[in-house]
Amino acid sequence: MHKSKANAAAAQGQPSTLKRGISPALLLLFIVGDMVGGGIYALVGKVAAVTGGAIWSAFLLALVLAIFTAFAYAELVTKYPRAGGAASYVHRAFKTPFFSFMVAFAVVMSGVTSASALAIAFGGDYLGAFFESPKILTALIFIAVVGMINFRGITESVTVNAIFTLIELFGLLMIVIIGVAALTAGTGEPARAFEFKGDASIPVAILAGAALSFYALIGFEDSVNVAEETKNPSRSFPRALFGGIAIAGVIYLLVTFTASMVVPTAQLTRSSGPLLEVIKEGPLKFPPTLFAVIALFALSNGALINMIMASRLIYGMSDQGVMPSILGKLHPRRYTPWVAIVFTTLIAMGLIATGDVGGLAGTTVVLLVLVFIIVNVTVLVLRRDRVAHAHFRTPVIFPVLGVLVCAGLLTQQSADQWLRAGGLLILGSALYGVNLLLKNRLDKEAAQSA
């Protein structure tokens, strides 16, 4: 935080910095919980429709692509361990407020669109396993509750995240155990996990599947937005970041292999709850309703982490002077960015009222991949900037590969996803223009009254 802002906050009796309440273990669970979220519970069937039974191949490629960009984030977050994430790094590299604002807005929207998609999924088929309720109304109530948990505090939020992460990991562990049991009993068909869709070439099928499965793998980038609230971030982040990606990657490969082996591909593609099909078809007797509860926890966890990220990014950009100062206000008792939390929650409610799961998930991927390209370029630009403390340094080849593979992923996104992302970015441009006009007006009034 700028010294003048810190002094002003102290003079008013307001907190001037975020509380460092995240330990290395909580950070690791934060990353794993964000990556191993609702996406894997919903996307297995959709990826199978593109790749065929070799679902794991698409997830493996998406994992490799994510690792390239993770190297860039590891260097930037340990070099500049403050809230603000990608937009803060871009602002430091290019010194262009509008560009920084648009990156910030894209990242915020990616988190909010992802949380909105998960909220709608929560109010739909999974909850419908127990009782019928108005999907949109349920999703709106759900996102409001997520906002209240976020407001309670970062320690409370990541503790809830840790609990939810353990629950959803238990659900995925059950899928893996079912896979082992199917192999032992001879009831599974391992050969099916190596079958590709017949009407497409294997490389095209894998790339198209990776573009879909990438939604389930994003989340590692959210962690950089809680850097200011992490204990010893320069040491903790690289270990937690790559450790979390490795854990999530292994889990995804085991789960997708099991799903293909236990359930026929056509059955997976028809289901809106594909992992529930594994529970029903597997050799072990595990209550389907209990698994549905676990899936609801997974959706809740993903939504919570995305909303934590969005609010902390808004706070960080306000701290940098790129966004209005009111969005950087901290609650005097909870030490949380309460205005930013309210702001992002209201946007999520608007998206829930007007969107659907598929469209919002696709929009999330488009927005984040665009940001990933910029982040990989930024880490190279900032190589000239030296800092006093030791930090992680990535080999140059990884950011270069990150740009290339992200560009490849963008070629697989549909026109409607591009249109929705474009519309949100246009909205961001309009908001920036309005904010700039108001700022200039206030500066002029202040000069006249002086």
Domain assignment present for 439: no
Domain assignment present for 197: yes
Instruction: For residue 335, give the amino acid letter.
Output: Y
Domain assignment present for 92: yes
Distance CA 335, CA 332 (A): 6
Q: What is the pLDDT of residue 117?
A: 86
CATH number at residue 349: 1.20.1740.10
pLDDT average, residue stretch 423-440: 81
Domain total of the chain: 1
* Residue span of the structural domain in which 379 resides: 21-434
H helices of 16-84, where?
Answer: 24-35, 38-51, 55-79
pLDDT average, residue stretch 73-97: 82
pLDDT digits (tens, 9 = 90+) for 218-258: 878 767 766 667 777 677 788 888 998 999 899 999 999 99
| Average pLDDT value over all residues in the chain | 83
Q: What is the pLDDT of residue 382?
A: 93
Domain assignment present for 38: yes
pLDDT average, residue stretch 161-175: 85
Distance CA 409, CA 141 (A): 34
Predicted TM-score of the model (pTM): 0.80
Distance CA 358, CA 42 (A): 10
Q: What is the pLDDT of residue 3?
A: 44
Q: What is 186-220 written as a DSSP string?
A: T-S-GGGGG---TTS-HHHHHHHHHHHHHHHHTTG
pLDDT average, residue stretch 24-33: 80
Over the range 14-44, which residues count as b (16 or more CB within 10 Å of their CB) and which as e?
ebbebebbbbbebbbbbbbbbbbbbbbbbbb
User: Which one is predicted more confidently, 29 or 252?
Assistant: 252
Domain assignment present for 257: yes
pLDDT average, residue stretch 148-175: 80
Domain assignment present for 15: no
Q: What is the pLDDT of residue 132?
A: 80
pLDDT digits (tens, 9 = 90+) for 11-28: 454 554 555 667 778 888
Q: What is the pLDDT of residue 86?
A: 79
Q: What is the pLDDT of residue 427?
A: 81
